[in-house]
């Protein structure tokens, strides 16, 4: 096992085969994705959307159905290349960027969407991560995240170990058999409530068989009574 390889190496190598995850022949799983896709199409309508870790553009297509514009970012050029091969209904701009070092200086987006990244974010980084994703968001903006529950993992993944911060590591195999050790965390509905209710206002939370999703809003800062 090539443990020295990073999660970025993994997704760069996986880019051409990545979208298989959306087309597995499991009706309930496909239905959950279809429901979320429709939700994002409606949620993004008319909005200025920032997508982080956009991958091959699956959710970009949902957001771009009726959005005003979508800025989609990912660290892997191979993923962006896949995403650029898709057709979009609204203007979409791709930016090669690390989610931890975004190039946006102002709070300019109505909606931020993040598909299947949160499970890879190390637990010890959550406070910083929440700050990073709130910075480009308008005060009345929203953040939507979706991620896996354990049944969504295919046969090419198994548990390896956990670290001192409680992060799980799994073995992932590409179609050619190449193996990677990948940080991948899972959450119960109550854990998600606990995690997100501190830094955000939770507008909606779903925790189904294959996927969880959450729609977040910024907490309003109360002004002093005499101001």
List interacting residues with ligand SAM (CB under 6 A): 7-8, 11, 53-55, 58-59, 74-76, 79, 98-100, 115-117
Nearer Cβ to ligand SAM (100/219): 100
Nearer Cβ to ligand SAM (115/141): 115
**Contact assessment for residue 138 and residue 109, using Cβ atoms and an 8 Å cutoff:** yes
**How far apart are alpha carbons 49 and 92 in whole angstroms?**
9
Nearer Cβ to ligand SAM (53/216): 53
Q: How far is the CB of 95 from ligand SAM (least distance, A)?
A: 10
Q: How far is the CB of 189 from ligand SAM (least distance, A)?
A: 20
Nearer Cβ to ligand SAM (105/220): 105
Q: How far is the CB of 110 from ligand SAM (least distance, A)?
A: 19
Main-chain dihedrals φ then ψ at residue 135, nearest 5 degrees: -60, -45
Nearer Cβ to ligand SAM (116/200): 116
Give Cα 99 distance to the centre of its chain.
Answer: 10
- DSSP H helical ranges for the chain: 7-14, 27-43, 58-64, 77-84, 126-134, 189-197
Q: How far is the CB of 127 from ligand SAM (least distance, A)?
A: 17
Q: How far is the CB of 101 from ligand SAM (least distance, A)?
A: 8
């Amino acid at each position: 096992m090539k443990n020295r390889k990073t999660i970025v190496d993994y997704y760069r190598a996986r880019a051409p085969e990545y979208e298989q995850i959306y087309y597995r022949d499991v009706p309930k799983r496909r239905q959950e994705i279809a429901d979320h896709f429709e939700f994002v199409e409606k949620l993004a309508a008319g909005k200025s959307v920032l997508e982080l870790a956009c991958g091959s553009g699956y959710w970009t297509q949902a957001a771009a159905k009726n959005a005003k514009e979508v800025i989609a970012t990912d660290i892997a050029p191979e993923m962006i290349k896949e995403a650029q091969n898709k057709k979009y209904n609204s203007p979409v701009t791709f930016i090669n960027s690390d989610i931890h070092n975004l190039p946006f200086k102002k709070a300019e987006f109505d909606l931020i969407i993040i598909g299947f990244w949160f499970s890879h974010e190390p637990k010890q980084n959550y406070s910083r991560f929440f700050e990073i994703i709130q910075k480009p968001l308008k005060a009345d903006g929203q953040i939507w995240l979706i991620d896996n529950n354990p049944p969504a993992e295919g046969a090419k993944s198994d548990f390896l170990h956990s670290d001192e911060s409680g992060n799980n590591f799994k073995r992932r195999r590409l179609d050619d058999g190449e193996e990677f050790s990948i940080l991948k965390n899972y959450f119960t509905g109550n854990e998600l409530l606990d995690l997100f209710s501190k830094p955000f206002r939770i507008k909606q939370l779903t925790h189904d068989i294959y996927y969880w999703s959450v729609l977040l809003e910024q907490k309003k800062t109360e002004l002093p009574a005499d101001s």
